[in-house]
Amino acid sequence: MAALQFNDLLKMLPGTTTPRWNVLVSKIKNKQPLSLNSTGKDIIIDYLDDTLKLLFEEGNIPEIQKQYRGKKLFKSKSGQKLSLSDLFKSPDFGGGKGSGAGAAETERNESAQCLYASLVCYVFKKQISLDTPITKQQFKDAMKYCDVSEKFEKMLDLPKDWHESSILGANYLHKKYALKGKYEYHRGSSLVDAIENTFKDLNRNERAFGNINKWSPADMYMFTQAGKDAVKNELGKVKTLQQFNTLMIKYYKSHDIIGVSLKKISGNVKATENNIGDTEKVEVEYLGEQVVAANKDSILDSMDVYLEHSKGRIQFRSFGGAGSLTGWQGEGKGTFANQGKVSLGPVNYILGIHGVDKLPESRDSARLARNPDSTYYRTFYDAAKRVKTKNLPDTQADFEKLWQSADEQWRYSKYLGVLLVDRMLSLSKEKRNEVITDIYLYSASKASFAGPYLKLE
């Protein structure tokens, strides 16, 4: 059996942009049983205290990791105190027979791409065809330039489609980089861990990304000796995500550290370089906002607000479920499909790098939704006036009466939305466009402050 880990909670549910921590929060809220990792016994649990409850319901997993690593987080009905690793990583969290097998296949396939890249580069020293015979000894020779997490024998047992995908990927990498350096190919190595841990440490403080895949979805890395030296000697000196990205872009462009995101390849390889600092600049124009729907008469019409832009619109609201005072974030709406989400932490990061006052923390908005004070009322009402909210009461006193008639989730969500609109309207047109561009790019997983990588598919 496998224990549930914090990283499991940050991963997305298959085919969605919803992180798996939502599953845990839902099970606890609805008193659904979870299994103990040690015995498999099903139990119903609750949070150990209200602070932990709020952190989990906000999805603030990095903060829980920081403050409570190795500590007890939950309690059973019998009073037994439990840590996260006391719980079984069921299929809901990416474990079990189905999801566990998927994770094992992912490790095998990503590690195998490293092996095949080394095979083409160092053994054959040229591109090979899909039916080229390959001996076990040739694979062994290729392993000299790999540092991967999968066992050697398992990488030799690829299904035909992944065998061919790995050859196609290896051929492309050889064609693009054979003359640019002598590489090692890494997946799950200490050097990869150093990169990922540097990101996690910096992001824990700056909260720019919900998880590491939003920063970079790289599944393997290629390192020259200069790249290996940079990881060992320079990563420890960076103090901010901006410095970290500058360093990673520098070594990507010098072809010394290359992160590669992998998808199964069939036919022609489609390759795109992302977040390398000199691609065509994406510019999004801010077009307007919606605080009250056009066909509605009151600010109570809904708990959301919209920011309109030249590529669609972004809906900001609580996505925490009915009655939940958590999960405030934006979801990009395109012409044909949703474009991904941007949570409060990244929104505040984007506001901050553009010199704009950050929004209150989710927990503060939740607290004030239950226990407002005079400053809160004034802040909410004045912001609503500045954004010219339709049919807003003439006085703050009348607004307070209106506010009292709303449910707590509306109070929590609309407050943050109105403040965001107010901040946007306080900016110059140029600055508005810059902020909405970064919010749009983040929701589309193309943030201008994300890490560089090569995507193969």
Q: Sign of the C-alpha dihedral, residues 428, 431, 433, 436?
A: negative
Mark whether 89 and 109 lie in a shared domain: no
pLDDT along the chain (457 residues), means of 10: 78 71 87 78 88 88 84 90 85 52 82 97 96 92 96 90 96 94 95 95 87 89 98 95 94 97 93 77 89 88 94 91 86 66 92 96 95 96 96 95 95 97 97 94 79 94
* Separate counts of helices (H) and strands (E) for the chain: 18, 16
Flag whether 193 is in a domain: yes
Q: Are 113 and 262 in contact (CB under 8 A)?
A: yes
Mark whether 292 and 436 lie in a shared domain: yes
> Rounded distance, CA 76 to CA 81, Å?
7
Residue 336, pLDDT score: 43
Flag whether 135 is in a domain: yes
**Amino acid in the structure at residue 333:** K
Mark whether 195 and 65 lie in a shared domain: no
Average per-residue pLDDT in the chain?
89
> Rounded distance, CA 449 to CA 215, Å?
8
Flag whether 356 is in a domain: yes
Mark whether 72 and 154 lie in a shared domain: no
Mark whether 230 and 344 lie in a shared domain: no
Mark whether 229 and 340 lie in a shared domain: no
How many domains, the chain? 3
Residue 100, pLDDT score: 40
Residue 66, pLDDT score: 83
> Rounded distance, CA 414 to CA 416, Å?
5
Nearest-5° Cα angle at 108, 450 to 265: 65
Mark whether 109 and 238 lie in a shared domain: yes
Residue 34, pLDDT score: 84
Flag whether 450 is in a domain: no
Show which of 93, 117, 138 is a domain's final residue. 93
Other Cβ atoms within 10 Å of 91 Cβ, number = 12
The residue segments making up the domain with residue 265 are: 104-269
Q: Are 330 and 316 in contact (CB under 8 A)?
A: yes
Residue 371, pLDDT score: 96
Residue 40, pLDDT score: 66
Mark whether 349 and 407 lie in a shared domain: yes
Mark whether 61 and 110 lie in a shared domain: no
